[in-house]
Structure 1
Amino acid sequence: MKTKTVKGNWSFRTNKLTFPYVFLICIFFFLAGFFGSTLFSHSQDGDGYGLRPRPRSRLLESRKEGKYNLMTAGEFGDDSITSIPFQVLSWKPRALYFPNFATAEQCESIVSVAKAGLKPSSLALRKGETAENTKGIRTSSGVFISASEDNTGTLDVIEEKIARATMIPRSHGEAFNILRYDIGQRYNSHYDAFNPAEYGPQKSQRMASFLLYLTDVQEGGETMFPFENGLNMDGSYGYEDCIGLRVKPRQGDGLLFYSLLPNGTIDPTSLHGSCPVIKGQKWVATKWIRNEEQDD
């Protein structure tokens, strides 16, 4: 009887002590599981290196594994999804960056086609300006080549892709201006759009520019926007300093910026230039896009 009494008392004490412990243990595992699943979810949404949030730009990309219920296309529409990744660099001016827009092979092909026709780059002159008094503003070499003149077909592919990225028909584009900048060469800040008060009446206006970088540049050669977001517009800027938003050339990458505001007037923040090349050589293909169709 004594043994049974002791055994019974031990059993009662164990039950009395076990319940709080079991309850706390359950809470512990519940919280551990909850936070563990949260950590796992964040790591999946990020880039695999921790608790980084999912970049907003990913939401704009089409994914191969996705299934789309496509609409019936119009006569000249597509029956498939086109994915062209981009990053908004600025809203003032409106500037977008397109990584890996062209392949290395395409870039090298364009450079090869352009080499034979290079000449010193010229300027569109304002009233009263001459080639003599504008020396040093633009020191690159260049050549104009239309897609139809490129027997390799590379410029035709690039031109079609630019039209899709901008949603502006190919018929609005000028011929490609292929430019080479050697060490020390630059292009002082300027506007691509032509102010009629300075250049006279215009049949059409350059509304946007697309730059395709054909080579890496080891140092210098950035495309700069000194008036980005309204900065440096107090009248003290000398059009030579490499300041403001700067985009480093990387082979195959593209840069799109708009020279006109949605109301059709010139965007004052679209002033831009090319910083001097310090090390290496810069090749770029520029496509100027007009607000009117161009004559063939």
Structure 2
Amino acid sequence: MKSKTVKGNWSLRTKKFGSSSVLFICIISFLSGFFGSSLFSNKPQNWQDVEFGLRPRLRFVESRNEATAYNLLSAGESGDDSITLIPFQILSWKPRALYFPKFASSEQCESIIDIAKVDLQPSILALREGETKENTEGVRTSSGMFISASEDTTGILDVIEEKIARATMIPRVHGEAFNILCYEVGQRYISHYDAFNPAEYGPQKSQRVASFLLYLSDVEEGGETMFPFENGLNMDGTYGYEDCIGLKVKPRQGDGLLFYSLFHNGTIDPTSLHGSCPVIKGVKWVATKWIRDQEQDE
């Protein structure tokens, strides 16, 4: 009885051992074949190789170009077959303001300054009903000049204008001529809107949708572009339009600032109120591009 029991148990253990051994050998064989084929095959690896934890071949990485890396679509007649990378930082959603570091080179900025220096005039204001040059004195104290990209024989403004169009996705023909501005020590532009309220300025053929500021120089102290109503702050009626408060953007040569003056429904964004703080030390140079909702005449 005992011998039968022992014999029965031994037989069962033998069967279990045999099944386990076969399964183990199969797993080893499968893994050896899988990894062996990956290591010694001449066939290029793809993304599945990386997903399974295998090291991609260097030659595969080197052979990748922009088209294969991003799997670009076929562009339309007016589109591009390549990717344009323009780094930006969202500074605010109210107003919609974006910051573009190193948008232009130092050489480009210095060239634009040289162009503007020879034709600077005192900056002027668009006057509302009841306003005069005398009673608005001190509102805008900079000097400036206007120049279109087509008038620039160096071609630099043409390059900048094209890049602005790509950053904003608003065609170049919607932009006004560049307004190149210079702020000396003590000069400023108190808070204002770039869009024109028809109730104050009369009917408008087109409206300024957005503004792009390209800072052409560093400013040692002061000269910030400020948004006092950012995120709805200071809108209780006590703000005097002269205080330099709220969101402030320090001018740095080559950097760009984009902000939108209108909501998507075409009404003016009240938080887009902005100004230029007084320059305390240094000189502020900036190239402003106002962009409208309709094409502009040359």
TM range (shorter): 0.7 to 0.9
Q: Residues 149-164 of structure 1 correspond to what in structure 2 (within 5 A)?
A: 149-164=151-166
The equivalences for 1:155-194 within 5 A come to 155-194=157-196
Question: Does the aligned pair in 1 maintain the 2:100–2:256 contact within 8 Å?
Answer: yes
Q: Distance in 2 between matches of 1:71 and 1:115?
A: 45
Where do 5+ consecutive residues of structure 2 fail to align?
Answer: 1-64
Distance in 2 (alpha carbons) for counterparts of 1:188 and 1:203: 26
8 Å CA contact 2:95–2:272 kept in 1: the answer is yes
RMSD over aligned Cα atoms: 1.2
1:261 corresponds in structure 2 to 263
Q: Which has the larger radius of gyration?
A: 2
Distance (whole Å) between structure 1 residues aligned to residue 133 and residue 119 of structure 2:
21
Match of 1:199, as an amino acid?
Y
Q: Which residue pairs with 1:86 in the alignment?
A: 88
The alignment-based identity, stated in percent, is 82
Residue equivalent to 1:293: 295
Alignment CA distance shift 1:66-1:240 (3 Å): farther
Deviation at residue 65 of structure 1 after TM alignment: 11
Structure 1 residue runs of 4 or more that deviate by more than 4 Å after TM superposition: 63-66
Aligned to 1:22: none
Counterpart Cα distance in 2 of 1:67 and 1:209: 34
User: Structure 1 stretches of 5 or more lacking a match?
Assistant: 1-62
- In structure 2, the partner of 1:109 is 111
In the alignment, which residue of structure 1 is the partner of 2:254?
Answer: 252
Distance 1:194 1:143, change over 3 A: same
Corresponding letter in the other structure for 1:98:
F
The residue aligned with 2:137 is 135
1:97-144 CA-to-partner distances (Å, cap 9, x unmatched) read 000000000000100001111000000000111111100000000000
Which of 250, 273, 276 is the aligned partner of 1:274? 276
Secondary structure in 1 matching 2:181: strand
Deviations 1:78-110 (A, max 9, x none): 000000000000000000000000000000010
Structure-2 residue corresponding to 1:125: 127
Q: Aligned letter for 1:123?
A: L
Counterpart CA distance in 1 for 2:67 and 2:93 is: 32
- TM superposition score normalised by structure 2: 0.77
Give the drift of 1:200: 0.3
- Counterparts of 2:228 and 2:94 in 1: how far apart (Å)? 11
How do 1:63-82 and structure 2 match up within 5 A?
67-82=69-84
1:283, distance to aligned residue in structure 2 (A): 0.1
For the residues of structure 2 that align with 1:236 and 1:152, how far apart are their CA atoms? 47
Q: Residue 225 of structure 2 contacts residue 274 of structure 2 at CA under 8 Å; is this kept in 1?
A: yes
**Aligned residues of 2:226 and 2:277 also touching (Cα < 8 A):** yes
Contact 2:185 2:281 in 1 (8 A): yes
Using the size of structure 1 for normalisation, the TM-score is 0.78
Q: Secondary structure in 1 aligned to 2:115?
A: helix
User: Aligned residue for 1:11?
Assistant: none
* Counterpart-to-counterpart distance in 2, 1:113 and 1:157: 15
Give the Cα–Cα distance (whole angstroms) in 2 for the partners of residues 158 and 294 of structure 1.
18
Count of residues in Structure 1 that have an aligned counterpart in Structure 2: 234
* Structure 2 SS opposite 1:67: helix
CA contact (8 A) 2:140 2:190 kept: yes
Match of 1:197 among 196, 199, 219: 199
| Shift in Å, 1:263 | 1.1
Change (3 A) 1:237 1:64: farther
Which residue type is aligned with residue 114 of structure 2? S
Q: 2:105, 2:68 → 1: CA distance?
A: 25
Give the drift of 1:266: 0.1
